[in-house]
Amino acid sequence: MRFTKMQGAGNDYVYVDCFSETAPSDPAELARRVSDRHFGVGADGLVLIGPSDKADAEMRMFNADGSASQMCGNAVRCVAKYLYDHGRCTKETLTVESFGETYPLDLVVEGGKVTRVRVDMGEPILDPAKVPTRLKANQEGAVCDADLTIGDRLLKVTAVSMGNPHCVEFVPELPEPGAPHDLVVNYGPHLENHEMFPERVNAEFVELISPTRVRQRTWERGSGETLACGTGASAVCVAGVLSGRTERKITVELLGGELELEWNESDNRVYKTGPAVEVFTGEWPE
């Protein structure tokens, strides 16, 4: 099975082109095997690209533990790059379907290859029943800076779905990876599996630098800490506005690079711009 390894802001996946390859019979198992950084290709998960009835292509994404997710904000940019760079699409504006939703994307093409992509991530979902979370909404109907306890630590979290569930905590100072008592690795797994999130959750830890710039680290549902999370950065943009910390247009600094985010006031949609990079191609023994 031929594959392409791609990354967006360091969030790396193994991509299989199911227009030409037979789709794997057990994608969850394949995701676990290819993602392994010692015995596999090494990735945050697996993405299958195939035909769609309503978009230029469909993507199906699987985390490193084999669980499927509704959406991946970094992968969707890489899928768009793949479609253009590999001649499956000649348009510089295209659409990708994920879990029944259609995402429009605008490509930045340099020297015949896509370097950056702007994606319409859709409208954030704030209704707690739909995130889903058992945390209580405020009067505006959103779970914003709500109390959540882990052991003896009280967290203030905002719950947002961008198709997939996110829990955002603004912290006074974001530690570097490997720092003693690193809150991302200490609290990430507890948040991911917290009883307040019945479908598990992606946990975003954020330090406010200014009203237009934040730093973020992510503990992803099903993959652990990753270098970036595109749906997570979108959720952070929404959480920053809801809680009055940030403006609607922000730059998010992640471990693997920067993403530009905007929660547009007039159409209520989140727009995200960032890089998409092909790393290498290979053949996976079936």
In this complex, which beta carbon is closest to ligand LBFN2T5F, that of residue 220 or of residue 283? 220
CB of 272 to ligand LBFN2T5F, least distance (A): 9
User: Is residue 216 within the footprint of ligand LBFN2T5F (CB under 6 A)?
Assistant: no
- Work out which of 124, 128, 188, 230 binds ligand LBFN2T5F, going by CB under 6 A: 230
Give the 3-state secondary structure of the chain. CEEEEEEECCEEEEEEECCCCCCCCCHHHHHHHHHCCCCCCCCCEEEEEECCCCCCEEEEEEECCCCEECCCHHHHHHHHHHHHHCCCCCCCEEEEEECCEEEEEEEEEECCEEEEEEEEEECCECCCCCCCCCCCCCCCCCEEEEEEEECCEEEEEEEEECCCEEEEEECCCCCCCCCCCCHHHHHHHHHHCCCCCCCCCEEEEEEEEECCEEEEEEEECCCEEECCCHHHHHHHHHHHHHCCCCCCEEEEEECCEEEEEEECCCCCCEEEEEECEEEEEEECCC
Q: What angle do CA 247, 251, 256 make, to 5 degrees?
A: 150
From residue 160 to residue 199, what is the string marking binding to ligand LBFN2T5F with x (rule CB under 6 A)?
A: ----x-----------------------------------
Instruction: Please identify, among the stretches 24-32, 68-76, 173-181, 254-262, the one whose residues bind ligand LBFN2T5F according to the rule CB under 6 A.
Output: 68-76
Q: Which stretch in 136-144, 146-154, 222-230, 248-256 sits in contact with ligand LBFN2T5F by CB under 6 A?
A: 222-230
Total chain residues near ligand LBFN2T5F (CB under 6 A): 17
Query: Is 167 assigned a catalytic role?
Result: no
**Is 144 among the catalytic positions?**
no
Task: Write down the least CB distance from residue 144 to ligand LBFN2T5F, Å.
Answer: 20
Catalytic residue among 18, 89, 167, 229: 229
- Residue in the block written with tokens 């307040």: 196
- Residue 139 neighbours by CB under 8 Å, 6+ apart: none
The answer to whether 118 is annotated as binding is: no
249 burial via Cβ count (<10 Å: 0-12, 13-18, 19+): middle
The 84-103 site mask, x for binding ligand LBFN2T5F (CB under 6 A), equals --------------------
133 binds ligand LBFN2T5F (CB under 6 A): no
Instruction: Select 27 or 232, whichever has its Cβ closest to ligand LBFN2T5F.
Output: 232
Interface residues for ligand LBFN2T5F in 3-22 (CB under 6 A)? 11
202 near ligand LBFN2T5F (CB under 6 A)? yes
List residues binding ligand LBFN2T5F (CB under 6 A).
11, 63, 69, 72-74, 164, 202, 220-223, 226, 229-232
Q: Which residues are catalytic?
A: 72, 229
Binding residues: 11, 63, 73-74, 164, 202, 220-221, 230-231
